[in-house]
Amino acid sequence: MSTSQLFEKRLRELHEARFKEFEEEVVRRHALDERAAKYEPAREKRRRELLAGIGIDPKKLDGEREADQRTQEKELKAFLSESRPAAVSRRSHQAADARAAALRSAVLAEAGHLVLPVFASTLYSADKAQLADVSGVAGDGAINSGWVFPDEPGKIRIMTSGHVAAWCFQAVASPPDPSFAVHFAFVPASTANYEMTAVLAFHGFYVLRSDDGYFSCRYAEVKLAVQMNVNQYVDFGWKEFPALIDRHEDNIEAVVNYDRTGFFDYTAVLKAGDPVIVTVGGTLRAFARGGGTYAELNFEAGTANYIEPLLVSVQQV
C-alpha cells in the first residue's frame, strides 16, 4: 500500500469515528428538544395562571408581545438589507494570503522545517441542507445530519445563522454547531518529539442583532472555537485554544468583518515510519433568541469570505 493510500485509509477511519460522535450528539440534543416540547404546554399553563393571579392579563401581554415582535421583525429586515451586502461583496484577500504563505513556507523550509500542505478537509452539520452547495463526497447521518469531503480542501466555505422566536422561561435545545476540520499528513523520519504549527487564514463576518426589553429576554451570540489533534495509531487528544470570536449581547446591532491569520501548535512524541494525521478543527455557533433577533457567522458568502488552511510546519524539538 502506498503512503498516500495509508493516509487515505487512516483519514477515513478517523472520519467514521469522529462523525459517529457528532451523530450521537445530534440524537442526544434532539431528544432534549422533544422532552422540552412535551412539558412546555403544562409549564406555559402554570405561567399564565401565575400572571393572572398577580393581576396581569395574559391576553393583553400576548398582544403587546405580538405587536413588539412585528416591529422588531420589520426593523431586522431593514437592518440586514442595509448592512449585510457590504460584508458579502467586499474585496478578497486571497492574493495576499498566497504571497504570505509562499514566503512563510520558503523561510520555514530553509530553516529545516517540514512544510505540509492540506491533505483533506471535512464539514459536519446537524442540518445537511447547509452543505448542499458544497461540491464533494457527501454522506447522511442520524436524523437530518450530514458530512462532506469538499473537492477543494484548501478553501473551506461554511456559515451558520440562528434565530428562535422564544420568550422568557421557554426551554430551547439547539442542535450541535456545524464544524469544519482540515487534515495534514506526514511520516516521521525518526522517533522524536515533534512540534507542529498550523497556520489558517480566516476571512468572514458576523451579524448580531438584539433589542432586549421587558419580558423579552432577547440576546444574540456568535462564537468561533478552534482545536487541534494529532493521530498516530490513536488520537493524542484535542487541544483547545481560546475562542477566536466570542460575542454575547443583549442589545446590539452590528455587522463586523473578521480577517485574521491564526497559529495553532501541538507537541507530541511520534514514532518513525508510520503515518501521522494532524487535524485542526473548528465549530461555528450563531444563536439568537426572541422576536426580531438574529445571529450569523459567515465564512461562505461572496468571494471574500472563507477559511484557508495555509500550511503546517513540523520540526523536531
Which of 226, 230, 178 lies closest to 202 in space, CA to CA?
A: 226
Of the listed ranges 35-39, 70-74, 88-92, 256-260, the least confidently predicted one is 35-39
Give 256-281 pLDDT, tens digit per residue: 999 999 999 999 999 999 999 999 99
For residue 118, the model assigns a pLDDT of 96
Give 227-242 pLDDT, tens digit per residue: 999 999 999 999 999 9
The C-alpha angle with vertex 148 and arms to 283 and 155, in degrees rounded to 5, equals 70
Which of 85, 120, 117, 124 lies closest to 12 in space, CA to CA?
A: 120
The residue type of 264 is F
Q: How confident is the model at residue 50 (pLDDT cuts 50, 70, 90)?
A: confident
Q: What is the pTM of this model?
A: 0.90
All three cell numbers of 178: 456545524
Q: How confident is the model at residue 37 (pLDDT cuts 50, 70, 90)?
A: confident
For residue 258, the model assigns a pLDDT of 97
Averaged over 195-221, what is the pLDDT? 88
Averaged over 192-212, what is the pLDDT? 94
pLDDT above 90 (res 223) = yes
For residue 215, the model assigns a pLDDT of 60
46 or 279: whose pLDDT is higher?
279
Averaged over 39-58, what is the pLDDT? 81
Q: Give percent helix, percent strand, percent coil of the chain, each to the nearest 5.
A: 30, 40, 25
- For the chain, what are the domain ranges? 3-316
All three cell numbers of 123: 464539514
Give 175-186 pLDDT, tens digit per residue: 889 999 999 999
For residue 283, the model assigns a pLDDT of 97
CA distance 260 to 206: 14
For residue 175, the model assigns a pLDDT of 84
Cβ-based neighbour number of residue 302 at 10 Å: 15
For residue 186, the model assigns a pLDDT of 96
For residue 207, the model assigns a pLDDT of 96
Averaged over 197-209, what is the pLDDT? 96
Handedness of CA 140, 142, 146, 149 (dihedral sign): negative
Averaged over 285-305, what is the pLDDT? 91
What integer best gives the mean pLDDT of the chain?
Answer: 90
Residue 131 DSSP label: G
Q: Which percentage of the chain shows pLDDT scores above 90?
A: 68
